[in-house]
């Protein structure tokens, strides 16, 4: 057996030693080596390309993640301060108007509410006096905090729309008349000329919005036979959300935007207007000038009421510098 294996080995070795066979084997080895080298280089090149592409993708993902993180942190910081990046309620009025990028320096939410009332709410009894349905107003606050351009739900009660206006004004960090001019504006209430000059010191957004709101109130008062809200009644209801001293923010209305519920549907939400607007006033701070505290400790700021009544009664003579708000 061993002899046979040895004989076969010698035979094959002799075959390989022949010139033709040796040349063929060398050619095959060279070809195989070349092919292997090509495949290796190709594989290496593809690996480099994949690594390069992977690196670019990783960098892109890292950039997007970093940007998203900044946005999230920004929103968290806003929530820590009580507002989010899309909020309308509780946000300085100049910030809201700046976000709108509109040529009209008045918050969209006020324009939408006012237009709705002009078209279908002026005859509603006790407009701006009823506080409205809490649940409905919470839903509206949530709706507009998510989309400041949202339309009012179809068929909504005008009482709730008027209450939403009051809610928005009450949740401003500073009233339209500003803290700085609180005493000066109250002191100018007996003179149209003095009031006109004093209001010119307001920031543009505050001035135009105050003109807009008082123009709306004037229109409401012109229907007082039907809605039972003359200038005095409207002034009593609106003064607390238009003029207040620092430290006397009408905090009651904050419950509508700090604890919002889900957005409303486009259906009539069957509101139940109740309560008085004077429940908005805070009873924790010192009484202000021209105020008489009631039995429950809530002061009535008669000076502020007279200011608002003056702005309605002499509207066109006072707001001569504004583009007068006119509804058809």
pLDDT tens readout for residues 197-217: 999 999 999 999 999 999 999
DSSP letter string, 106-149 = S-HHHHHHHHHHHHHTTTSTTTTTS---HHHHHHHHHHHHH-TT
Instruction: Note the pLDDT of residue 18.
Output: 59
Place of tokens 């009482």: 159
Q: What is the mean pLDDT of the chain?
A: 76
Take residue 53 and report the two structure tokens written for it.
């592409």
Helix orientation angle between 108-120 and 204-221, rounded to the nearest 10 degrees: 10
Query: What is the predicted pLDDT for the residue at 113?
Result: 97
User: For the residues 254-266, what does the mean pLDDT come to?
Assistant: 50
User: Quick check: 252 and 279 in contact, CB under 8 A?
Assistant: yes
Task: Please state the CATH superfamily assignment of the domain spanning residues 107-318 in this structure.
Answer: Rho GTPase activation protein (1.10.555.10)
- Over residues 34-45, the mean pLDDT reads 63
Does 14 score more than 60 pLDDT? no
In the numeric block, which tokens belong to residue 5? 């294996």
Q: Could you report the per-residue pLDDT of 141-156, keeping only the tens digit for each?
A: 999 999 989 999 999 9
pTM: 0.65
For 260-277, give one letter per residue: b (16+ CB within 10 A) or e: beebbeeeebebebeeeb
175-201 pLDDT, tens digit each: 999 999 999 999 999 999 999 999 999
What pLDDT sits at residue 318? Answer: 96
- Of residues 17 and 318, more confidently modeled: 318
Assign 284 a pLDDT band (cuts: 50, 70, 90): very low
Neighbours of 298 (CB within 10 A): 16
32 pLDDT band, cuts 50/70/90, is low
Q: For residue 131, what pLDDT is reported?
A: 82
pLDDT at 180: 97
Q: What's the rounded mean pLDDT across residues 18-46?
A: 62
Whether 124 has a pLDDT exceeding 80, the answer reads yes
What are the phi and psi torsion angles at 301 (to 5°)? -90, 90
Position 298 pLDDT exceeds 70: no
Going by pLDDT thresholds of 50, 70 and 90, the confidence category of residue 328 is low
Q: Where are the domains of the chain?
A: 107-318
- Note the pLDDT of residue 78: 46
First to last CA, the chain: 120
């Amino acid at each position: 057996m061993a002899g046979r294996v040895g004989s076969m080995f010698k035979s094959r070795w002799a075959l390989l030693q022949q010139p033709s066979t040796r040349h063929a084997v060398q050619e095959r080895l060279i070809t195989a080596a070349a092919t292997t080298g090509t495949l290796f280089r190709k594989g290496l090149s593809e690996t480099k390309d994949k690594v390069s592409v992977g690196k670019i993708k990783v960098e892109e993902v890292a950039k997007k993640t970093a940007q998203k993180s900044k946005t999230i942190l920004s929103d968290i910081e806003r929530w820590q301060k009580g507002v989010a990046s899309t909020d309308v309620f509780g946000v300085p009025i100049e910030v809201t108007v700046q976000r709108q990028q509109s040529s009209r320096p008045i918050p969209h939410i006020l324009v939408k509410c006012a237009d709705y009332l002009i078209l279908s709410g002026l005859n509603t009894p006790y407009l701006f006096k009823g506080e409205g349905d809490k649940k409905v107003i919470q839903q509206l606050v949530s709706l507009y905090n998510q989309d400041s351009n949202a339309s009012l739900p179809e068929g909504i009660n005008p009482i709730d729309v008027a209450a939403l206006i009051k809610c928005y004004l009450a949740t401003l960090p500073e009233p339209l008349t500003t803290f700085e001019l609180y005493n000066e504006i109250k002191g100018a209430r007996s003179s149209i000329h003095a009031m006109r000059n004093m209001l010119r010191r307001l920031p543009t957004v505050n001035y135009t919005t105050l003109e807009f709101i008082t123009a709306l109130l004037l229109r409401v008062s012109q229907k007082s036979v039907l809605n039972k809200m003359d200038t005095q009644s409207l002034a009593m209801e609106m003064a607390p959300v238009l003029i207040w001293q620092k430290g006397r923010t009408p905090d009651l209305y904050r419950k509508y935007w700090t604890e919002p519920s889900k957005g409303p549907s486009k259906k009539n939400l069957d509101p139940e207007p109740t309560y008085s607007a004077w429940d908005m006033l805070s009873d924790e701070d010192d009484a202000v000038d021209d105020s008489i505290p009631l039995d429950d400790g809530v002061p009535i700021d008669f000076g502020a009421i007279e200011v608002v009544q003056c702005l309605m009664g002499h509207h066109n003579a006072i707001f001569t510098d504004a583009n007068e708000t006119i509804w058809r």
